[in-house]
Amino acid sequence: MKNSIVGATDIKEIKLMRTKLSEEANVEPDPVPTGEVKKETQIIAIYGKGGIGKSFTLANLSYMMAQQKKKVLLIGCDPKSDTTSLLFGGKACPTIIETSSKMKLAGDEISIGDVCFIRDGVFAMELGGPEVGRGCGGRGIIHGFETLEKLGFHDWGFDYVLLDFLGDVVCGGFGLPIARDMCQKVIVVASNDLQSLYVANNVCSAVEYFRRLGGNVGVAGMVINKDDGTGEAKNFTEKVGIPVLAAIPANEDIRRKSASYEIIGKPDSEWGSLFGELAANVASAPPVHPKPLNQDQLLNLFSSDITGRDIVLKPATQADMTGKEVKPKKSLEVIYDAA
In one-letter notation, the amino acid at residue 175 is G
Residues 6+ apart with CB under 8 A from 209: none
CB-CB contact of 40 with 159 (8 Å): yes
Identify the active-site residue in 114, 168, 193, 228: 168
DSSP per position, 19-69? HHHHHHHHSPPPPPP-PPPPTTPEEEEEEE-TTSSHHHHHHHHHHHHHHTT
Per the annotation, the verdict on 185 as an active-site residue is: no
Per the annotation, the verdict on 226 as an active-site residue is: no
CA dihedral 188, 189, 192, 198 (to 10 degrees): -50
Identify the active-site residue in 80, 234, 239, 266: 80
Per the annotation, the verdict on 320 as an active-site residue is: no
Identify the active-site residue in 54, 185, 226, 257: 54
- Side by side, which strands form the sheet with 122-126? 117-119, 122-126, 72-76, 160-166, 42-48, 185-190, 218-227, 244-249
d(CA 210, CA 287): 14
Per the annotation, the verdict on 80 as an active-site residue is: yes
The catalytic site residues sit at 49, 54, 80, 168
